[in-house]
Structure 1
Amino acid sequence: MKKTKSGQKLIVTIVKKEKAKKVVHASTLAGAQGGTTFFGKGFRINEKKRFLGIPVEREREVILTLVSDSIYHKVMNAIIESVKLNKPQHGIGFVIDTKRISGISHMLGLGIENEEYSNESEMKQMDIQKFSYDLIVTIVNKGDSDKVVDASKSAGAEGGTIISGRGTGIHEKAKLFNILIEPEKEVILTLIIKEKTEAVLKAIESGAGLDQPGKGIAFVLDVDQTVGINHLLNSQVSDEMK
């Protein structure tokens, strides 16, 4: 039995600083048309790095790579190999199935080429994906990311990545010397086992005051595949065996 798939995937890769170029190079050689890189900082619940008693923030690079289903597995494997995502502490990668895209369909070759998957490969993928994950995306005002991090940790999250941005909401307007200023934002990406999603989301809402106007927003995305988070899987297996 064979199955035909079509569409596009968003591959999100989070690696140590200076590793993004390897990811982009490998994905391009595998057929991707490029990617977008963001700079951020990572946090982990058991982080112990300190300098003169001050916690050291781990610099991270976040790469977004949009590819068609027809080359998705090839690109994903190339990224994994390029930065050794299948080894502990080399970074993480996860995949989100996108609904619609605009502006680059001709580059992705959507609707032109499909890929067939056998039952064997599908079953192997199901074994890999025994545990399902969600991605919680939280957007808050600059300086409030610590509230999100603390809340998510208290509810069972293992870590996350913070990147900077700026807001363009209709109620987010400020002026300095009559010059319009766009407020700075912080975006927190939290990869979480589905069973913990609701608890972590509620903790973030309460801890960061998201139920109050102008405090921020959080939303959840389904994740198709994960790489580089074996410690989470091992922890989950241990819990189930107790």
Structure 2
Amino acid sequence: MKSVNKGHKLIITIVKKGQAKKIVKASKQAGAEGGTVIFGRGTGVHENKSFLGIPIVPEKELILTLTTSDISDRVISAIEDEGRLCTPGSGLAIVIGTKAITGIAHLLGISTHSTQYLEGKTAVEKQAVLYDLIVTIVNKGDSDDVVDASKKAGAEGGTIISGRGTGIHEQAKLFNILIEPEKDIVLTLVDREKTKQVLEQIEEDVELNKPGKGIAFVLEVERTIGINHILNKMINDKFDQS
């Protein structure tokens, strides 16, 4: 099947454990086909870091919702309202444009012919959203180093999810059976002005330039929901510097 696109959006919503089910339900009521839930962990600026001196890493749920652009605003509003994302500490959502889609045309009821990506943008999409999403994939156990490095460079933190995969520099075997090493994936939402320094700090501290250590890449975020506290902090910081 050929890749297709009618201006689709990928909405990534990050909420506390137990909230994903109602987010998916709200998005479906708004017209989305559903969502994929991934379990992870991470700490935001409004969450307790320890209990009785013992470090706590809150569990998270990530919901991946793919929708067409014509209903994306409605779906985003439903997710924002249901998740109360405007309340600090409740969660956040980011919107990323897709360039091509394959394998789900029968679900979305669209043609299998390729179309021009984002022929027109809504007024909301044209607003400047100066954020990037840094995706870092490392060996299991190295994710805390990624989060620490990103914080050192000015990021708020990160969300960690688990996976597995084998790179060209990894050929681990047990009893002659090839083993796919477990991986940690770290999602870091960062002010675009800090993207370069955060990425460089992660590369340096986690030694990504060494074979087999991991990889990081940056995705441009079109829109964010639920990070007003970050925006306020940026404004206050710039005001203090002036």
Under TM normalisation by the shorter chain, which class is it? 0.7 to 0.9
Matched residues, number: 231
Residue from 190, 193, 217 that aligns with 1:192:
190
User: CA 1:111–1:72 in structure 2 vs 1: closer, same or farther (change >3 Å)?
Assistant: farther
Partner of 2:90: 90
Asked if residue 20 in structure 1 is aligned to residue 20 in structure 2, the reply is yes
Partner of 2:100: 100
1:129-151 Cα distance to aligned partner (Å, 9 max, x none): 55410000000000111111111
Instruction: Say if 2:129 and 2:221, in contact at 8 Å, map to a contact too.
Output: no
Partner of 2:149: 151
Partner of 2:209: 211
Unaligned 5+ segments in structure 2 are: 113-117
Partner of 1:42: 42
1:170-207 Cα distance to aligned partner (Å, 9 max, x none): 33232222322110000000000100000000000001
Question: C-alpha displacement at 1:238, in angstroms?
Answer: 1.6
User: CA 1:110–1:197 in structure 2 vs 1: closer, same or farther (change >3 Å)?
Assistant: farther
Paired residues for 1:1-16 under 5 Å: 6-16=6-16
Asked if residue 78 in structure 1 is aligned to residue 78 in structure 2, the reply is yes
Question: C-alpha displacement at 1:43, in angstroms?
Answer: 2.3
User: CA 1:45–1:31 in structure 2 vs 1: closer, same or farther (change >3 Å)?
Assistant: closer
Letter in 1 for 2:218: V
Q: Matched residues in 2 for 1:46 and 1:13: separation?
A: 17
1:75-107 Cα distance to aligned partner (Å, 9 max, x none): 111111111112211100000001111011232
Instruction: Say if 1:173 and 1:183, in contact at 8 Å, map to a contact too.
Output: no
Letter in 2 for 1:103: G
Letter in 1 for 2:50: R
Unaligned 5+ segments in structure 1 are: none
Q: Matched residues in 2 for 1:176 and 1:6: separation?
A: 46
User: CA 1:116–1:74 in structure 2 vs 1: closer, same or farther (change >3 Å)?
Assistant: farther
Q: Please report the TM-score for the alignment, with normalisation by the length of structure 1.
A: 0.88
Q: Matched residues in 2 for 1:237 and 1:134: separation?
A: 18
Question: C-alpha displacement at 1:232, in angstroms?
Answer: 1.0
Question: C-alpha displacement at 1:116, in angstroms?
Answer: 11
Asked if residue 64 in structure 1 is aligned to residue 64 in structure 2, the reply is yes
Instruction: Say if 2:42 and 2:59, in contact at 8 Å, map to a contact too.
Output: yes
User: CA 1:116–1:131 in structure 2 vs 1: closer, same or farther (change >3 Å)?
Assistant: closer
Letter in 1 for 2:36: T
Between 1:16-25 and 1:174-183, the stretch displaced more is: 174-183
Question: C-alpha displacement at 1:45, in angstroms?
Answer: 5.5
Instruction: Say if 1:45 and 1:153, in contact at 8 Å, map to a contact too.
Output: no
Instruction: Say if 1:68 and 1:109, in contact at 8 Å, map to a contact too.
Output: no
Letter in 2 for 1:59: E
Which structure has greater strand proportion?
1
Between 1:37-46 and 1:76-85, the stretch displaced more is: 37-46
Q: Matched residues in 2 for 1:95 and 1:213: separation?
A: 32
Letter in 2 for 1:170: I
